[in-house]
Structure formats: structure tokens, C-alpha cells
């Protein structure tokens, strides 16, 4: 059955700390699919999601869920079990990418430059002097939850007096806190789309945030942050970050769209911070911005991501014959 005749469920919302951003992404995607002539229905995900898929006669899912429960392989696992094709990365890649500790270890083993760091688990910080960061690191360090997105729970710790509060904040969201060296330099993001014979890196975006910290407000309050696309990098550095983004995408095993976040030092050395397997699609999001620079408007980008589900259709008995 052609995609234009399939009933598409756009899954959004959920129960993570990124719920509001997910709703904005999902609503924008839903409108774009309707404009393109698809039969799309919006679904706010809760415990009844499987029943909603059944009652709304959904045949294929567009995932617009951010954070735990949507980007970590759990919803992907449910959809695999019930035989429902979906967009984006599969269970394993989603789980690895969401867990920053695992993703970083995997990338490091493959020679991808990542910031040096360690993990501090909840309940243990009291054993360590507050005047010195762990693992031989020096101030400043970045403290963040191991499995969150949208810079939720992230703190740049510049002095010992901020250390314990930063750990408490990260541990509110996760039992594991990642502690990394702060990489001074420029904030760069490179989005990647799947393709043949290899994934395609879109133009890099430089993020110039107020105060130099691209936090939740800087990401989602329109007008607070400047975006430079394509990023004004030297040609060799631009090629390097785009190549690293594609390699990161391939190492993690991503499908569909993903976004790789970097810090690039003043000497032009890039470090991969993380990879996002369900990039934001709001009006201030980086993926649509980069795609537009590459000649792909929002609706065309949405359709391109939708097509990433096609590889699962045959494996799941085909659109229109899915049982759930």
C-alpha cells in the first residue's frame, strides 16, 4: 500500500521531562503530513498507547517522542513486538544513543574524539572531597544526567562550591551523572539523514547562546539564541565535523534522521558530545534549519523522515496488514 494511503500515527508528548517540546515537535510534524496529503492522526502517548493505535487504525508510526520513554528504545521495542513500522532508529541504536555513558564508550573505542570524563552514581558523592573533581579532571566540568536530552539537568561547574548542587540536580533525573571536562570553544551541531550509499551530513549549524551555555531556555525560547548556518568554520574543520557526524551515526547504528552535537576548540579540534536519534522539529530546531539550507523544506524533510519506516514495512508484514 502506498504511504499516502497508510494511516499514520504521530506519537508525541509522553511522560518525560521533554514532554512539552515533544508536543511541539509532534504537532508540527502532524500539520506537515496533512499538508502533504497523508492520513495522519496525532497521539499523545500514555499507558493506553497500544489501545490508541488500535482504535485509531494506525498502520505506521512517526515517532516525535523525545527523552526517556520515546528516544531510549522502549517505545521502539513495543512497536517491534506488535509489528508496527516506525520512523527513525531501532531499539538498540536508540538505547545506546540515549545512554550517554554507553554511547561515549562505544565512540571512544572507535576513535571518535569525546571529552574525558567519568560517572558519579547517586549516593556516592559524599565519599569524595568537594574541592576536587573526580578522575583527575580540573574545573570547569560539565555535570549531566546519563539519559536525558534538551540540556535538562545539565550544569557547568566552575568552582568547588557548585559541585554538590550540580550532582544533586543531575541525580534528580538519573541515578548516574556524567562528569566531563568542559571543552572551551564553539557549539556546533551536524544533522545526518540516511541515504545510499552512505548517510548524508547536512550543513553544520553554529549555536551562539546567551552566556555561552545552550540550555533549555536558549534552545526553545525564540530569539534568545543566534544560529549560523552553515557554520563559519574553516573548510577543513567543516569537513571534519561532518565526517565525524556520519561516522558517529554509523557506529551507533542509526536510521532516519539524527543530530550530532560537538564542541570545537579554538584550534579547530572537534569533540562529539552526544547524538540525538529523534531530533527536535520545532520552529527553532536545528535539523529543519540545516535541511532548509540544503534545499529541503520542512514538509519535504518530514516526508523524508517518514520514508525511513519503509525498511520495516516488509519485515513487519507490510503496511495495511500489521497486526497489533
Enter the C-alpha cell of residue 2. 502506498
User: Closest by alpha carbon to 115, among 245, 251, 270, 242?
Assistant: 270
Is 31 an annotated catalytic residue?
A: no
Question: Has 259 been annotated as catalytic?
Answer: yes
How far is it, in rounded angstroms, from Cα 314 to Cα 316?
5
| Catalytic annotation, pick one of 72, 215, 261, 303 | 261
Catalytic residue among 16, 89, 94, 276: 276
264 conformational bin, left if phi > 0, alpha if psi -120 to 50, beta if neither = beta
The rounded distance, in Å, linking the Cα atoms of 242 and 200 is 9
Would you call 220 a catalytic residue per the annotation? yes
Burial class (CB in 10 A: 0-12, 13-18, 19+), 195: exposed
Under the phi-then-psi rule, with left for phi > 0, alpha for psi from -120 to 50, and beta for the rest, what region is 253?
left
Q: Which of 240, 259, 263, 312 is catalytic?
A: 259
**16, 89, 94, 150: which is the annotated catalytic residue?**
150
Cβ contacts of residue 111 below 8 Å, gap of 6+? Answer: none
DSSP state of 225: S
Q: How many CB atoms lie within 10 A of CB 301?
A: 23
User: For 40, phi and psi rounded to 5 degrees?
Assistant: -115, 140
Respond yes or no: is residue 249 known to be catalytic. Answer: no
To the query of whether residue 276 is one of the catalytic residues in this protein, the response is yes
- Which residue of the set 214, 220, 271, 298 is catalytic? 220
Name beta bridge partners: 192. Answer: 201, 258
Phi then psi for 173, rounded to 5 degrees? -105, -20
274 catalytic, yes or no? yes
- The catalytically annotated residue of 9, 14, 18, 67 is 18
- Residue 280: active-site member: yes
Catalytic residue among 73, 117, 280, 298: 280
45 contacts 95 by C-beta, under 8 angstroms: no
Q: How many helices (H) and strands (E) does the chain have?
A: 11, 13
Would you please indicate which residues are annotated as catalytic (active-site) residues?
18, 150, 220, 259, 261, 274, 276, 280
Amino acid at each position: 500500500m502506498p504511504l499516502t494511503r497508510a494511516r499514520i500515527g504521530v506519537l508525541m508528548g509522553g511522560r518525560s521531562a521533554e514532554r512539552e517540546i515533544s508536543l511541539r515537535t509532534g504537532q508540527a510534524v502532524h500539520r506537515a503530513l496533512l499538508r502533504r496529503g497523508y492520513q495522519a492522526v496525532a497521539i499523545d502517548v500514555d499507558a493506553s498507547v497500544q489501545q490508541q493505535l488500535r482504535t485509531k487504525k494506525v498502520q505506521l508510526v512517526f515517532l516525535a517522542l523525545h527523552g526517556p520513554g520515546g528516544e531510549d528504545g522502549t517505545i521502539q521495542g513495543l512497536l517491534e513486538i506488535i509489528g508496527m513500522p516506525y520512523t527513525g532508529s531501532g531499539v538498540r541504536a536508540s538505547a545506546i544513543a540515549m545512554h550517554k555513558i554507553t554511547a561515549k564508550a562505544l565512540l571512544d573505542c572507535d576513535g571518535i574524539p569525546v571529552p574525558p570524563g567519568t560517572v558519579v552514581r547517586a549516593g556516592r558523592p559524599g565519599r569524595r572531597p568537594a574541592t576536587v573533581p573526580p578522575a583527575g579532571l580540573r574545573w570547569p566540568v560539565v555535570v549531566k544526567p546519563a539519559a536525558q536530552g534538551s540540556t535538562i539537568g545539565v550544569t557547568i561547574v566552575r568552582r568547588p562550591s557548585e559541585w554538590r548542587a550540580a550532582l544533586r540536580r543531575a541525580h534528580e533525573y538519573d541515578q548516574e551523572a556524567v562528569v566531563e571536562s568542559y571543552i572551551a570553544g564553539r557549539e556546533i551541531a551536524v544533522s545526518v539523514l540516511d541515504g545510499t550509499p552512505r548517510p548524508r551530513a547536512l550543513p553544520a549549524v553554529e549555536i551562539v547562546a546567551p552566556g555561552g551555555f545552550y540550555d533549555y531556555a536558549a534552545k526553545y525560547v525564540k530569539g534568545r539564541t543566534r544560529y549560523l548556518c552553515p557554520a563559519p568554520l574553516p573548510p577543513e574543520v567543516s569537513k571534519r565535523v561532518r565526517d565525524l557526524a556520519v561516522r558517529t551515526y554509523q557506529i551507533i547504528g542509526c536510521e532516519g534522521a539524527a543530530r550530532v552535537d560537538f564542541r570545537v576548540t579554538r584550534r579547530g579540534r572537534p569533540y562529539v558530545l552526544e547524538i540525538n536519534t529523534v531530533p527536535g522539529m520545532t520552529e527553532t530546531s536545528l535539523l529543519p534549519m540545516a535541511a532548509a539550507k540544503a534545499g529541503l523544506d520542512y514538509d519535504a524533510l518530514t516526508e523524508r523522515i517518514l520514508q525511513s519506516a519503509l525498511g520495516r514495512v516488509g519485515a513487519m508484514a507490510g503496511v495495511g496488514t500489521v497486526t497489533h
